[in-house]
Amino acid sequence: MPGAGDRGKALARWLGTGLLGLFLLPASLSLEVTVGKATTIYAVNGTEILLPCTFSSCFGFENLRFWWTYNTSDSYRILIDGTVKNEKSDPKVRLKDDDRITLEGSTKEKMNNISIMLRSVEFSDTGKYTCHVKNPKEKGLENNATIFLQVVDKLEEVDNTVTLIILAVVGGVIGLLVCILLLKKLITFILKKTREKKKECLVSSSGNGDNTENGLPGSKAEEKPPTKV
């Protein structure tokens, strides 16, 4: 059996794990930044593209700072820098590196949208775009999310031929199975009706035989020879 010392150590470990969980819980519910599900987006040269970014915080925010950065293997710069006073105000831009960039979205009514629009994109705009958010209300906690922009001549059309063929084959197989089931039910119904008619005929024939034996009208009972005088 474990001694008192072992039980004390186990209790200490259990308390330590619980306290660690309490410390980690606020961190798991704190500032989060997202740029959506797509990690790579494509834009045609000369068009405009929206670079999405939203944030959330269970503790709220005050004098929140946000900024977008652009970086490649040999370049790094801040594209836009702004602040949000509180949850009832829209973001204000303090610094903007490129006139082609405009701030989109709103932070009112829990939208928390700090997306940017990049117009007249060029091939040199290809690279990583990172959305940064820093919340003083959470002791200056900072978080970020990155999206990769690829500028191309034209967007490639997705060939759905194989998909359509697969769907057609699957649909044909399903239709064939339905037809087989319906045909099976029809044959079963016909066989059932045929058996019922045969049964009725047998019963009728058996009834006619009884009438003959009983000498009813129309019967073929043998006539008795006349009695000799």
CATH, residue 48: 2.60.40.10
Mean of pLDDT values over 175-182: 84
CA of 166: how far to CAs of 156, 173, 178, 193, in Å? 22, 11, 18, 41
Choice between 34 and 156, residue whose per-residue pLDDT is larger = 34
Q: At residue 217, does pLDDT exceed 90?
A: no
92 and 68 within one domain? yes
Do 140 and 163 lie in one domain? The reply is no
Of 102, 137, 152, the domain-final residue: 152
**Same-domain check for residues 38 and 146:** yes
Of the ranges 15-24, 43-52, 89-98, 137-146, which one carries the lowest mean pLDDT score? 15-24
Give the predicted TM-score (pTM) of the model.
0.58
Q: Is residue 34 in a domain?
A: yes
Residue 6 lies in a domain: no
Look at residue 132 in the predicted model and tell me its pLDDT: 97
pLDDT surpassing 70 at residue 94: yes
Could you tell me if 124 and 58 lie in one domain?
A: yes
For the chain, what percent of residues have pLDDT higher than 90? Answer: 40
Are residues 124 and 170 both part of a single domain?
no
pLDDT of residue 199: 73
Residues 35 and 146 in one domain: yes
What's the average model confidence in pLDDT over 112-130?
Answer: 96
Q: What is the pLDDT of residue 110?
A: 83
**66 burial type by CB count under 10 A (0-12 exposed, 13-18 middle, 19+ buried):** buried
User: Which pLDDT score, from 0 to 100, does residue 227 have?
Assistant: 58
Which range of residues forms the domain containing residue 179? Answer: 157-194
- The percentage of the chain sitting over the pLDDT mark of 70, rounded to a whole number, equals 71
Are 180 and 92 part of one and the same domain?
no
- The residue type found at 126 is T
Same domain, 89 and 190: no
In a domain, 212, yes or no: no
CB 105 within 8 A of CB 113: yes
Same domain for 126 and 175, yes or no, is: no
Instruction: Say yes or no: 47 and 131 in one domain.
Output: yes
Residue located via tokens 């790579």: 40
Cα–Cα distance for residue pair 171/219, rounded to 1 Å: 64
CA 203 – CA 197 distance, rounded (Å): 10
Residue 129 has pLDDT above 70, yes or no: yes
pLDDT given for residue 160 in this prediction: 61
User: What is the residue-averaged pLDDT of the chain?
Assistant: 79
Q: Are residues 108 and 164 in the same domain?
A: no
Looking at the domain assignment, is residue 200 inside a domain?
A: no
Q: Is the pLDDT of residue 213 over 50?
A: no
Q: Same structural domain for residues 109 and 190?
A: no
Residue 29: predicted pLDDT: 55
